Amino acid sequence: MTTMSRTLPHAVFLTALVLLALWLPLPLYLTALALFGLPHVIWEMGFIRSRYAARWPLNWWYAVWAVLLVQAGIRTAVWLGSYPASSSLIVDLLTLLLLILIVLLTPLRTGWLARAAVLCVACTLMWLLEHGHTLTVLLLLAMAHNFTPLAMAWDMAREDPQFRSLAWKISALFMLPVVVAGSGWAGAAVPPPVLVYTPLLDGQLPTEWDGTHRQALLSAIVLAQCLHYYSVIYLLPRAEIERTGKTVLSTSMQMGALIVVALMLVYYIVDYGAARKLYAVAAGMHAWLEWPVLLMAFIFTVNHVVPTQKC
């Protein structure tokens, strides 16, 4: 198979993705979330497990997962209607603060620079929380979360130069939403059947971020989200297979995942809003797991600790 025959389908796919994000961002957002939201959570969890699970002691992972399970419990209560969604926003930020604290207290052989950087992140979150910017912070974190494949790819490239091409490729991909955001795109008409779901997309940005660039930012967010799915379902697991010679998910786990995904897809068709709340349970766990993992990888990088050694 020639290089052109391998790259052409990807080029067509990415071109279609950009056009859909510009002209039909809301249908793309709704469809991508329903079809690829849960698969991307499962495959990314498999990637993180394969790449990072053996690096740090079990006690560290137990602490992280204990905090994440509390967050998942609260989000499940929101789905069941027994806990107010507005209060769960504060729980989300407190969850992240606890995870950062776990990173700060990890007994690594590290210097002050990396810990100071992590501490600044925690203090910034505390300041924003105290000044009533909870929703804005969470929306900014959600946007930043879409770009985490960049950090994961460059972490792989740092250890093994053979993955630099992947890191540059993912970097180039995520320049696309940046270009869209700065383009001043005014948007297109929303198809009537999906008008009812407009608040789901419009809620991705703080209300004070209004003006001529709002539609361009929304299109950019949808595009970044789809590129995130593409990276963690296809690009990063494929690279991890190349690195380890093993799949990130066993065959039985893949089959089980596909069954769950099919059930969720039916739920989306029956009640999209409720299905989205249930999906938020898994989405919150995987998104919040990324931050302590990437912060730990950052600490290792800054202090030149050998990543295969447990601390």
Interval 37-70: pLDDT, tens? 999 999 999 999 999 998 888 999 999 999 999 9
Higher pLDDT, 219 or 184: 219
| Average pLDDT score over residue span 240-269 | 92
Residue 263 clears pLDDT 90, i.e. is over it: yes
Return the pLDDT at 311.
47
Average pLDDT score over residue span 75-91:
88
DSSP letters for the chain: --HHHHHHHHHHHHHHHHHHHHH-HHHHHHHHHHHHHHHHHHHHHHHHHHHHTTTS-HHHHHHHHHHHHHHHHHHHHHHHTSS-HHHHHHHHHHHHHHHHHHHHHS--S--HHHHHHHHHHHHHHHHHHHTT-HHHHHHHHHHHHTTHHHHHHHHHHHH-GGGHHHHHHHHHHTHHHHHHHTTT----PPPGGGGGGHHHHHTTS-TT--STTHHHHHHHHHHHHHHHHHIIIIIHHHHHHHHHSS-SS-HHHHHHHHHHHHHHHHHHHH-HHHHHHHHHHHHHHHHHHHHHHHHHHHHHHHTT--TTS--
310 in a domain, yes or no? no
The boundaries of the domain holding residue 73 are: 3-302
Most confident among 13-22, 82-91, 208-217 (mean pLDDT): 13-22
Residue 307 belongs to some domain of the structure: no
311 is a domain residue: no
Does 151 reside within a domain?
Answer: yes
Name the more confident of 102 and 178: 178
Is residue 34 situated within a structural domain?
yes
Reply yes or no on whether the pLDDT at 163 is more than 50: yes
- pLDDT at residue 6 greater than cutoff 80: no
pLDDT at 307: 53
- In this model, does residue 127 exceed pLDDT 90? no
Specify the pLDDT at position 162: 93
Q: Does residue 63 lie within any of the structural domains?
A: yes
pLDDT score at 170 = 96
Q: Tell me what pLDDT residue 303 has.
A: 60
In a domain, 105, yes or no: yes
How does the average pLDDT of the chain come out, rounded?
85
- 85-118: pLDDT as tens digits: 878 888 888 888 888 888 877 765 555 666 677 6
Say which residue, 90 or 155, is predicted with more confidence: 155
Is residue 44 one of the residues assigned to a domain?
A: yes
Mean per-residue pLDDT, 168-186: 91
Query: For 15-29, what is the mean pLDDT?
Result: 90
**What is the per-residue pLDDT for 309?**
47
Number of domains in the chain: 1
